[in-house]
């Protein structure tokens, strides 16, 4: 059930209406829980059991961890159970075929022919997200950052809450669970704000990502032969914009939907294409994932507390696994590796700069441009079907190979891409240290109305292939 579907509109109206009934808070939470399972069943009904098992396992293990909090060895065992089961499910459903294909490749290289039947494993939608979410609960309790929650209903709702269930933001338990304690009173204006956020998110997805940019990216990345330098850059820029609008659009919808129900979800994007440096980028892009990786992987490995060499190793492992989280393919791992390299390179450069150095406009602009360029170049690995295609695209982008198809895109596509990306970068730089709240509330109500009206008309009248949100595949 996509956010940009009639089914979701009907579903949300039904949930919202039922939620407004004069019933007690506990019953309202049951309504949300039931609705969330219905929402998840829209993809593949049997997988609701997987969601239930994941919920039950971590509920139980967290209790056990807390019960044995003074016995390091025992509590470690229970943490291990939680990790094994959750990561086991994730590994099986998401990485089995990847591991099998790589195993076949490796043994073939040493002369052994192994041709097993390749199992047809369906990837449960959102498994990467809710797995990380439930693990954050058990790990936080293991670390003594909280106690097991008293209400299984609240916890089950935290795991399955439909606005963020299938594509984030990855919510921390102890920022969501306290919101379940007291009934929500949501005013008309809060609901209107939430709906406005949903409209904004859908506009980003339907009009900008699917309508304007995806066709360009698909055209360039579909070709088997090499595009020219201009088209390679246009296709990559188009994907740069597409993935932001698609994913940020989803997160904005999720936050807006939660807002209508009285819940606050964390921000997931903060104008990442106005980043100054790659560390800054990861504080602005998919914030909930990058903070999760920092807190539960990077810090667990030792963070930056064990010397330079170990820090480099920890950064590399975190980013490589972060890349792998996105998909069972070496291209995603390389994408993560590219970011690790860029983060480490930036770290080394910063160590050479005096701490009291004030960079002027020129250096700040250069840093911004280089960051954006680095991010764009890394997206080639994310978008390409294979390492070969990514390499070919990079060669085309830097003019190292003669193109076979000089003009894959028409002039209009190039103009649209450059215009949309330019506007996007401008908006990101304009708002990088401000908030949408500030900007929109400083505008008269009728300006906001016109904006909402234009977005609604655009959504209704913009052609675009019906595409799933990119991050659903993760």
Q: Which residues are annotated as catalytic?
A: 326
Q: Which residue number, 21 or 460, has a Cβ lying nearer to other proteins? A: 460
Q: Which residue number, 6 or 49, has a Cβ lying nearer to other proteins? A: 6
CB of 376 to other proteins, least distance (A): 24
In a 3-state reduction of DSSP, which class is residue 269? coil
**Sign of the alpha-carbon torsion through 35, 37, 40, 42:** negative
Supply 448's token pair: 């906001």
CB of 269 to other proteins, least distance (A): 9
CB of 287 to other proteins, least distance (A): 6
Supply 267's token pair: 């921000």
Supply 454's token pair: 């234009």
**Sign of the alpha-carbon torsion through 377, 378, 383, 387:** positive
CB of 56 to other proteins, least distance (A): 25
Q: Which residue number, 84 or 415, has a Cβ lying nearer to other proteins? A: 415
- For binding to other proteins (CB under 8 A), which residues are involved? 1, 5-7, 10, 42-45, 175, 187-193, 195-197, 199, 211-212, 255, 259, 264-267, 270, 287-288, 291, 412, 435-437, 440-441, 445-446, 448-458, 460-463
CB of 238 to other proteins, least distance (A): 14
Residues listed for the chain? 474
CB of 369 to other proteins, least distance (A): 25
CA distances from 64 to 68, 142, 252, 370 (A): 6, 10, 36, 49
CA distances from 141 to 147, 212, 298, 316 (A): 6, 45, 18, 27
Dist. CA 325–CA 289, nearest whole Å: 10
Dist. CA 29–CA 13, nearest whole Å: 16
Q: Are residues 314 and 298 in contact, defined by beta-carbon separation less than 8 angstroms?
A: yes
Element containing residue 284 per DSSP (H, E):
none
- Residue 388's contacts (CB-CB under 8 Å, 6 or more residues apart) are none
Q: List the one residue out of 123, 138, 146 whose CA is nearest residue 44.
A: 123
């Amino acid at each position: 059930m996509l956010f940009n579907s009639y089914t979701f509109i009907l579903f949300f109206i039904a949930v919202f209406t039922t939620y407004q009934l004069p019933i007690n808070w506990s019953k309202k939470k049951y309504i949300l829980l039931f609705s969330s399972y219905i929402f998840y069943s829209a993809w593949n009904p049997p997988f609701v059991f997987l969601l239930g098992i994941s919920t039950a396992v971590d509920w139980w293990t967290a209790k056990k961890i807390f019960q044995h909090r003074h016995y390091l060895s025992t509590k470690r065992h229970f943490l291990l159970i939680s990790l094994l089961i959750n990561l086991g499910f994730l590994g099986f459903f998401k990485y089995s075929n990847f591991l099998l294909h790589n195993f076949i490749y490796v043994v073939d290289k040493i002369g052994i022919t192994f041709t097993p039947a390749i199992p047809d494993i369906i990837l449960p939608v959102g498994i990467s997200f809710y797995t990380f979410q439930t693990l954050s609960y058990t790990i936080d309790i293991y670390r003594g950052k909280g106690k097991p929650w008293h209400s299984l209903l609240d916890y089950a709702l935290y795991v399955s809450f439909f606005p963020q269930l299938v594509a984030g933001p990855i919510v921390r338990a102890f920022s969501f669970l306290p919101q379940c304690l007291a009934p929500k009173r949501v005013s008309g204006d809060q609901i209107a704000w939430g709906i406005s956020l949903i409209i904004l998110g859908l506009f980003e997805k339907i009009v900008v990502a699917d309508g304007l940019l995806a066709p360009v990216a698909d055209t360039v990345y579909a070709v088997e032969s090499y595009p020219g330098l201009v088209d390679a850059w246009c296709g990559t820029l188009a994907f740069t914009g597409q993935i932001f609008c698609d994913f940020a659009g989803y997160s904005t919808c999720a936050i807006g939907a939660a807002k209508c129900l009285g819940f606050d979800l964390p921000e997931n994007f903060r104008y990442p294409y106005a980043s100054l440096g790659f560390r800054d980028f990861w504080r602005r892009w998919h914030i909930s994932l990058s903070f999760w990786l920092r807190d539960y992987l990077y810090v667990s490995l030792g963070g930056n507390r064990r010397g330079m060499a170990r820090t480099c190793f920890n950064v590399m492992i975190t980013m490589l696994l972060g890349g792998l989280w996105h998909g069972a393919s070496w291209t995603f791992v390389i994408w993560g590796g590219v970011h690790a390299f860029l983060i480490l390179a930036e770290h080394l450069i910063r160590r050479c700069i005096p701490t009291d150095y004030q960079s002027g406009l020129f250096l700040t602009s250069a840093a911004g441009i280089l960051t954006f360029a680095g991010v764009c170049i890394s997206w080639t690995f994310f978008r390409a079907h294979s390492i070969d295609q990514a390499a070919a695209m990079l060669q085309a982008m830097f003019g190292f190979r003669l193109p076979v198809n000089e003009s894959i895109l028409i002039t209009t596509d190039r103009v649209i891409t450059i215009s949309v990306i330019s506007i996007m970068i401008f908006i990101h730089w304009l708002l990088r240290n401000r908030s949408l709240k500030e900007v929109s509330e400083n505008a008269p109500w009728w300006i906001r109305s016109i904006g909402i009206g234009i977005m609604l008309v655009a959504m209704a009248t913009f052609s675009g292939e019906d595409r799933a949100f990119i991050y659903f595949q993760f």
